[in-house]
Amino acid sequence: MSAKIGRGEIHWLVVIAITLICIALQDQWGWLSKYPQAWTVPFSDWLNIIINWMIKHLGWFFLGFSWLLEWPIKAVRWVLQSLPWGVTAFVFCVIAYVASGWRLALFTLCSLLYMVVIGYWDESMNTLSLVAISVPLAILTGFIFGVWGFHSNRAERVIMPMLDILQTVPVFAYLLPILLLFGFGTVVGLVASVLYSFPPMVRNTIVGLRSVPAEVIESGLMSGASKSQLFWQVRVPNAMRQLLLGVNQATMASLSMVIIASIIGGTEDIGWEVLSTIRKAQFGESLLAGMVIALMAMVIDRITYGLATRTDDYQNTAADTASNTTTRTLHRYRYWCIAAAGAVVFFVLAQIFDILQDWPRHLEWSPAKTMNDGLTYLVANFRGEIDSIKKFAFFFIMLPAKIGLQQAVSPFTWGFELTQTHRVAYVIAMIAIALLCMKRWNYKAAIATLLFAIFFYIGLTNMPWPAVILIYAVIAWKIGGPALGIGTLTGLAFIASSGNWPEAMLSIYLCGIAVIISFVLGTAIGIWASYNDTVSAFVRPINDTLQTMPLFVILIPFVMIFKIGDFTALLAIIAYAFVPAIRYAEHGLRHLPEDTLEAATMIGATKRQLLWQVKIPLAMPVMMLGLNQTIMYGIAMLVITALVGTKGLEQSVYIGLSDGNFGVGMVAGICMAIIAIIVDRCTQAWSRKRQAELGLNPI
């Protein structure tokens, strides 16, 4: 490292100096540590005024809309409820078979039987009916917006940020306004799920329509297509695969939202079942109900995904070549015929055998009680172990991050008092490490160490807010240029001025720890999986399952064992967020330029050198995207952990919902969205920058 001090170092040294000054002064000037009440801008009151005005003057419109939407839901619900379960199950199995073959059909059958036997058929059908209405609406909305965005760049520039906001503002935040406007009932869940699930459809529509090859468009034009023919007969069929992927994503989003929305609409559906049993601490029941959701999600995901990527699409089957047109038509519609015929057969059978109509109560079988007993036994017998795990994590990781070593270290927690000698030793050790980093790597590592040392000593929630804003803004600026820096500054300033600063720090602290652990853990597994096919094959289905699992359900096992609290939240976030880290690490390491690796091997790199000095640096941009996804997943789960009593922004959102205070919930929700968007932009910018430096193709 050269002795010359560059501009970058100076910027950072100034930042550190300001931080230290802020810390030193915060005892004298109270406003530095705590954002003064008097300075808060009453954003939430303004929002409440707006919503009240809307309810008063436009309420009739929304209520009418709600009334209209009620009908199709009722109709579908009636159909699904009155059909014998045998008929529904058969039709689903046929669809699953068409989508991806025998195995999925079998899986579908088992899942449906599970729902029947466990006694949740009616609830499942209620949830399904909501999904069945919300998905087409979301797809239609998404397609229309997507087409609009495709045709007009200006429209796209308006639509895209809106999508970002819809996808990052916590769902709890916009449940309330929907509730206030549309009134109680199933429609709330419907509207919420449409709002939440149409964005992926928009994105996929735009991407799909854009990526139709120019020559295909030209050949369409040369075939004499008019504008609408070109769109419907050339562009749309060519974009079909991407559109179907959009349908898949929209369906999954819709399902997860329908479940979450049951928090406000106490209708007889699965989400409600999970929630009420959790509240009653009936963990066995809640886990069983949660399994229903998980299975349903997996079946729907595999079916839509299978339909989207069907390999025998655009491929011949033997009978298609048959010259006889009737056989050909029959063959083309064979699955429709089978489904219809089977449905009729099962309907008739159901009239004769009652068991196919309604599964008799006495045959229902639920292991819930056994599970509850087992759990009680487990918790009672391993209390000591469970508590010590919890304590360890709490005292040595979570507490220092939250309130800093200066407060966390006490005889009660660490077993000793923090003395002046300790402090001096800490400072010297950290500076030494920083210098070492400087020597070994570069000044950035040293700066990062110093900042980390300060954070860890003071504690995130005790840091003076102006210093934190400054640090984050400078980081964003260094990574993504002035625009990102200023955006970050404004966004964080908004959080501070809305009076949500302490909660925001609590959210960042919890999510931050979880993300770091998830990322390290996930990357390690990903590296292992990239070397070992068995591990890879073993991890993949687990990942798939975790990713399709509705967030509620992931929460359940942790609550069962560790009760409510930050630690449970932490584990739940980790369980959900480490999946993308694994995926991206494995993908990044498995798809490296072959010639570079060969060259490195020929130079004589050992396996370890190859990994640390060639593979990981090259895969870094992809892994950074993994980090990005890890953070986004973490934030998504963080929102839900409000249910287990965390204290950050997510709780404010949730309280806003349960108190019926739209403004408070929405402002807290916007704060979360701001954090999510800032982190998203920073990690993406960083990844792109690295990628450009390495001269790799964008992924």
Partner 1 sequence: MSSEGLNNGAVKLSCRNIWKVYGDKAEQFFKDSQDQSNNPKARADSIRTAGHIVANADVSFDVHVGEIFVIMGLSGSGKSTIVRCLSRLVEPTSGEVLLDGENLLQKNDAELIDVRRHQMGMVFQSFGLMPHLNVIDNIAFPLKLQGIAEEQRYAQASRVIELVGLQGRESNFPKELSGGQQQRVGIARSLAVEPDVWLLDEPFSALDPLIRKQMQDEFLRIRSVLHKSIVFITHDFHEALRIADRMAIMRDGEVVQIGRPVDLILNPVDDYVRDFTTDVPWENVLSAADIVEQANGPTENKRRVSGDTPISELLTYLANHHDGLLVEDAHGTVLGMATARGVLTALASGCSNQISEN
Instruction: Give the residues lining the site for partner 1 (CB under 8 A).
Output: 213, 215-216, 218-227, 229, 233-234, 237-238, 240, 313-316, 320-321
Cβ closest to partner 1, residue 314 vs residue 365: 314
Cβ closest to partner 1, residue 320 vs residue 364: 320
Cβ closest to partner 1, residue 320 vs residue 693: 320
Q: HSE (CB half, 13 Å, CA atoms) of 318?
A: 0
Q: What's the closest the beta carbon of residue 155 comes to partner 1, in angstroms?
A: 21
Cβ closest to partner 1, residue 243 vs residue 291: 243
Q: What's the closest the beta carbon of residue 432 comes to partner 1, in angstroms?
A: 55
Number of H helices, E strands in the chain: 34, 0
CA distance 639 to 651: 8
CA distance 422 to 413: 16
Q: What's the closest the beta carbon of residue 240 comes to partner 1, in angstroms?
A: 7
Secondary structure letter of residue 199 according to DSSP: H
Contacts of 633 (CB under 8 A, 6+ apart): 576, 577, 579, 580
Cβ closest to partner 1, residue 331 vs residue 647: 331
Closest residue by Cα to residue 662 from 42, 174, 166: 174
List the structure tokens of 294: 């998980």
- Cβ-based neighbour number of residue 399 at 10 Å: 20
Closest residue by Cα to residue 467 from 42, 29, 44, 40: 29
Cα–Cα distances in angstroms (integers) from residue 195 to residues 51, 166, 499, 666, in the given order: 18, 7, 28, 15
Cβ closest to partner 1, residue 54 vs residue 240: 240
Tokens 């004589």 correspond to what residue?
604
Q: What's the closest the beta carbon of residue 228 comes to partner 1, in angstroms?
A: 11
Q: Which amino acid is at 387?
A: D
Exposed / middle / buried, residue 13 (Cβ in 10 Å: 0-12, 13-18, 19+): middle
Q: What's the closest the beta carbon of residue 214 comes to partner 1, in angstroms?
A: 9
Cα–Cα–Cα angle for 476, 477, 483, nearest 5°? Answer: 100
Q: What's the closest the beta carbon of residue 216 comes to partner 1, in angstroms?
A: 5
Cβ closest to partner 1, residue 212 vs residue 694: 212
Cα–Cα–Cα angle for 407, 413, 419, nearest 5°? Answer: 50
Q: What's the closest the beta carbon of residue 247 comes to partner 1, in angstroms?
A: 16
Secondary structure letter of residue 38 according to DSSP: G
Q: What's the closest the beta carbon of residue 97 comes to partner 1, in angstroms?
A: 22
- Cβ-based neighbour number of residue 56 at 10 Å: 9
Cβ closest to partner 1, residue 233 vs residue 684: 233
Cα–Cα–Cα angle for 118, 121, 127, nearest 5°? Answer: 125
Q: What's the closest the beta carbon of residue 465 comes to partner 1, in angstroms?
A: 46
Q: What's the closest the beta carbon of residue 302 comes to partner 1, in angstroms?
A: 23
Closest residue by Cα to residue 241 from 303, 309, 149, 293: 309
Cβ closest to partner 1, residue 232 vs residue 336: 232
Cβ closest to partner 1, residue 28 vs residue 316: 316
Q: What's the closest the beta carbon of residue 301 comes to partner 1, in angstroms?
A: 24
Q: What's the closest the beta carbon of residue 140 comes to partner 1, in angstroms?
A: 21
Cβ closest to partner 1, residue 102 vs residue 232: 232
Cβ closest to partner 1, residue 328 vs residue 563: 328
Q: What's the closest the beta carbon of residue 472 comes to partner 1, in angstroms?
A: 38
Cα–Cα distances in angstroms (integers) from residue 224 to residues 214, 220, 234, 690, in the given order: 16, 7, 11, 46
- Cβ-based neighbour number of residue 6 at 10 Å: 9
Cβ closest to partner 1, residue 313 vs residue 364: 313
Closest residue by Cα to residue 311 from 238, 241, 391: 241
Q: Spell out the alpha helix ranges (H) of 119-269.
A: 121-151, 153-168, 171-182, 186-210, 214-222, 227-229, 236-238, 240-261
